[in-house]
Chain A
Amino acid sequence: MTESLFLFASIADVPVAVRAAEVEAVVRLGDIVPIPLVQAHVRGLAALRSRVLTVIDMEARIFGKGGLDESASLAIVADIAAHSYGFLVDAVSDICLAPEEAQPVHGRIDPAWAPYVSGVVQREGRSHLLVTLADFAAPPGAGALAA
Chain B
Amino acid sequence: MDEILGEFIAETLETLETLSSEVVAWEADPTDQSRLAAFFRFFHTVKGSCGFLNLPRFERLAHAAEDVLAAVRRGERGADPATVSAVLAVMDRIGALARGLGGDETIPESDDDALLDALLASAGGFEIFEPLPEAHDDTPASIIADPPAGEAEGHGSEPDAAGPAHAKAGERAPRTIRLPLALIDQLMSGISDMVLARNDLARRMRERAIDPDLESSFERLSANVADLRDMISKTRMQRVDRLYAAIPRMVRDLTRELGKKATLDLDGGEVEMDREMIEMVVDPLTHIVRNALDHGIETPAERRAAGKAEAGALHVVARQSGNQIVIEVRDDGRGIDRAALVEKAIGAGLLTAADAARIGDAEKLNLIFHAGLSTAAEVTSISGRGVGMDVVRANIEQIGGVIAIASVPGRGTTITMRVPLTLTIIPGLIVRSGQHFFAMPRNNVVELLHQTSGMVAIEEVGGARIATIRGQRHAFIDLEDVLKLGRAKNASGPRTLMVIRSPAGQPYVLGVQAVESNEELVIRPASPSVTAAGVFAGMTLPDNGQPMLLLDAAGLAHVARLALRETDAWHRTAAPEAEVQAEPTMQALMFRERDGTRRLIPLAVVDRVEDIAAEQIAPCGTAAFVRIEERLVPALNAAERADSGLKSLRLYAGDEQLCYLIADVIDIVDVPLTVDAGLAGGRLAGLVMVGEGQFEMLDPFALFAEARAQGTIARAGQPIRCLIPDEDDAWMRNILAPLLVQAGHEVRFGPVTEVATEADAAHVILRGKAHDAEGPDAGEIPVVTLREDAVPTAAAPDTVYRYDRAQIFAAIAQAARRVA
Contact = CB atoms under 8 A, between A and B. Distances in A.
Interface of A: 31, 33-39, 42, 45-47, 49-52, 54, 56, 81-85, 137-140, 142
Interface centre among A38, A82, A85 (most CB of B within 10 A): A38
Given A47-B545, A50-B189, A52-B524, A137 B529 contact: yes
Given A56-B529, A85-B527, 10 more contacts: A37-B484, A45-B530, A45-B547, A51-B541, A52-B541, A82-B525, A83-B526, A139-B528, A139-B529, A142-B528
A37 B546 contact: no
A138 B533 contact: no
Contact of A37 (B528, B535, B539): B535
Contacts of A52: 524, 539-541, 547
5 contacts: A35-B530, A50-B195, A52-B540, A138-B528, A139-B532
Nearest to A38: B533
Contacts of A38: 529-530, 532-533
B30 to A, nearest CB: 45
Nearest to A45: B547
B483 interface: yes
Contacts of B541: 47, 50-52
A41 to B, nearest CB: 8
| Shortest Cβ-Cβ A-B pairs, 5 listed | A45-B547, A36-B483, A37-B533, A50-B192, A83-B527
Interface string B473-498: 00000000001110000000000000
B436 interface: yes
Nearest to A30: B545
B807 to A, nearest CB: 76
B484 A47 contact: no
A131 to B, nearest CB: 17
B546 A31 contact: yes
Chain B interface mostly: mixed
B548 interface: yes
Contacts of B189: 50-51
B549 A45 contact: yes
Interface in B524-567: 524-530, 532-536, 539-541, 545-549, 559
B609 interface: no
Interface centre among B195, B524, B529 (most CB of A within 10 A): B529
A30 to B, nearest CB: 8
Nearest to B539: A52
Interface size class on chain B is 20 to 34
Contacts of A34: 436
A56 B532 CA distance: 14
Contacts of A137: 527-529
A50 B526 CA distance: 14
Interface centre among A37, A139, A140 (most CB of B within 10 A): A37
Given A37-B534, A54-B530, A139-B532, A83 B525 contact: yes
Interface string B508-529: 0000000000000000111111
B17 interface: no
A144 to B, nearest CB: 16
Nearest to B544: A47
Interface string B174-216: 0000000000000001001101110000000000000000000
Contacts of B192: 50
B378 to A, nearest CB: 44
Contact of B547 (A42, A47, A81, A140): A47
A54 B195 contact: no
Contact of A35 (B524, B533, B540, B545): B533
Contacts of A139: 528-529, 532
B547 A46 contact: yes
A38 B436 CA distance: 14
A81 B526 CA distance: 11
